[in-house]
Amino acid sequence: MTAPARGLAERLAVLGSGSWGTMIAHLGALGGREVALWGRDPAVADELRTRGTNARYLGSTRLAPGIRPTTDLGEAVAGAALVVFAVPSAAFREVAASAGAFVTGDQALLSATKGLEPATRDTMSRVLRDETCAKKVGALSGPNLAKEILQGQPSATVVASRYRDVIRLAARLLHGPLFRLYGNDDLLGVELAGALKNVIAIAAGVAHGLGFGANVRALLVTRGLAEVQRLGVKLGAQPLTFSGLAGVGDLMVTCGSELSRNFRVGQGLAKGRALDEVVAELGEVAEGINTTRVALALARDHAVAMPITEAVGRLLFEGLTPQAALEDLMTRAARYEIDFDYAAEVG
């Protein structure tokens, strides 16, 4: 293992006190580490400090001692060897720029946000490089439902970075008996897999809400994976990344669990509810909505066919009904299954 950088304690800072940010802080604290957890809401910080809970996102279960909540960004970042960003993609650049005033070049930064920036189409690690002086950046992504982890159920994730020191440091601070960490050097692939699978999860939620069962879910997962991989590889990702935890693993979870926010968006739409109403009821960001817009733009620019993503886009933004979206997908021309270039029709 590599020794911590000089002047830095092996301390973890997590920026974002929503469900996933709080859970990352909990995992670090379970290992006996000091963890700073930053959030904007003083009420959440006060609850964490006095009760040890974050009821809005994680109910009444007490979190591991050792979490130090704060609303002071500089205090959270200062002296931490690893800083994890777990804020929505729409606010990511703002928070990264603010944190950049305190980040030093010897700190490692991880994105735990499964999204793409709408305006630039950038990955979150790209934003971290733009807005801070840090070179050692990476991303954390995998099939990680926060509430299941809080219940003590085993889980695993992927930390991707071009720097092995980042992966080793994250392993020391987060790996535990019930939370296994794997490394990957395909940072782009891991981030794209984590973001794009949210779009497919919306489609799976629609299918579930319409009353369809395991056959349709399997169809959406496998064909969804095919189009996510097509786009990812076109953008420079490694194909095998999409067969791992950050790819098919996360896709299986988000397409099959009502704990998934994006899945619940699809469910709500299938019941005839307006998108704004569904999102308001969630109380948290469903990244798949913004990611759908970005994915469609990338697919168009790079000439990549993404029929499920196209159907989700029409459902979200053009008023297509869930029934019509499914019919559109099922009536497309038959093709060969292994269709990396999406060119060969059966006939």
Catalytic residues: 197
CB-CB contact of 180 with 228 (8 Å)? no
CA 170-73-115 angle, 5° bins: 55
Residue 48 three-state SS:
helix
Helix-helix angle 287-301:89-100, to 10 degrees: 90
Q: Residue 128 gets which letter from DSSP?
A: H
Which structure tokens are listed for 29? 């604290």
The candidate with the shortest Cα–Cα distance to 193, out of 116, 262, 119, 133, is 116
Fill in the amino acid letter for 292.
T
* Cβ contacts of 181 within 8 Å, gap of 6 or more: 156, 157, 158, 159, 170, 171, 174, 175
* Cβ contacts of 239 within 8 Å, gap of 6 or more: 229, 232, 233
Q: How many CB atoms lie within 10 A of CB 234?
A: 16
Question: Cα(246)–Cα(243) distance, rounded to whole angstroms?
Answer: 8
The candidate with the shortest Cα–Cα distance to 250, out of 309, 195, 170, is 195
Which structure tokens are listed for 236? 């420079």
Instruction: Please give the backbone phi and psi of residue 120, each rounded to the nearest 5 degrees, phi first.
Output: -105, -15
Q: Residue 18 gets which letter from DSSP?
A: S
